[in-house]
Amino acid sequence: HSKKVDGIVFTGGEPLLQANSLRKLFPLLKGDGFLLKLETSGYYPEALSDLLPFLDYVQFDVKTRLEPELYCAAVGKVVPGEVILSKVLCSLAFLENSKFPVFKEFSVKVMQGNNDDFQTIDSIASYVKTYCDLFTLRQGSKGSTPQENAGQENAFVSKERVFELAMMARNILPLVAVETIDGKFEQLK
């Protein structure tokens, strides 16, 4: 019989919340020849480290500049910012030092007033530049759902602004892309 699926993407929420199950599942899937992609926020570094040998692709969602107060505000958690950021930084270190041939995408959802400035994007891009295979800026909004944005003027960060930020990041990183609200994906030349 021929295989109809080549790869599987684990997304969420946060798939590493199910790390114990993934530790059992990934070797089986890899043994069957599947390519595996994980989308993560980096909050579970030990789980990420355990699963790296099985992964072909990691998409790491970076919220904002890697500073405790900013990161805590961006994720809206009651956990102290230092705790959140230390976990994210640990996950980034695992990716940076990984000996496994995993493709590393760093993705930033550009949100108004959170990370839509040149300094923030420059800071993130500079931090990951030595081990980033693809840097993607995603057009974001004030609210996370269309209902939350209903009736709000300029609820979305403009496409033009996202492309400006991406062009700046392109000066730091070789491969930068933009994903817009309408689902279009464009790699910058």
Residue 148 burial (10 A CB sphere; 0-12, 13-18, 19+): exposed
Q: Would you say 135 and 125 are in contact if contact means Cβ atoms under 8 Å apart?
A: yes
More confident residue, 83 or 167: 167
Coil vs helix vs strand at 153: coil
**Quick one: how many helices (H) and strands (E) in the chain?**
7, 7
137-162 pLDDT tens trace: 999 875 554 445 445 555 688 999 99
State the pTM of this model: 0.88
- The pLDDT of residue 183 is 85
- The pLDDT of residue 45 is 97
- Using alpha carbons, list the distances in angstroms from residue 86 to 42, 45, 66, 119, 141: 10, 9, 9, 21, 27
3-26 pLDDT tens trace: 688 999 999 889 999 999 999 999
- The pLDDT of residue 2 is 61
Taking the C-alpha atoms of residue 101 and residue 114, their distance in angstroms, rounded to an integer, is: 33
Q: Would you say 128 and 88 are in contact if contact means Cβ atoms under 8 Å apart?
A: no
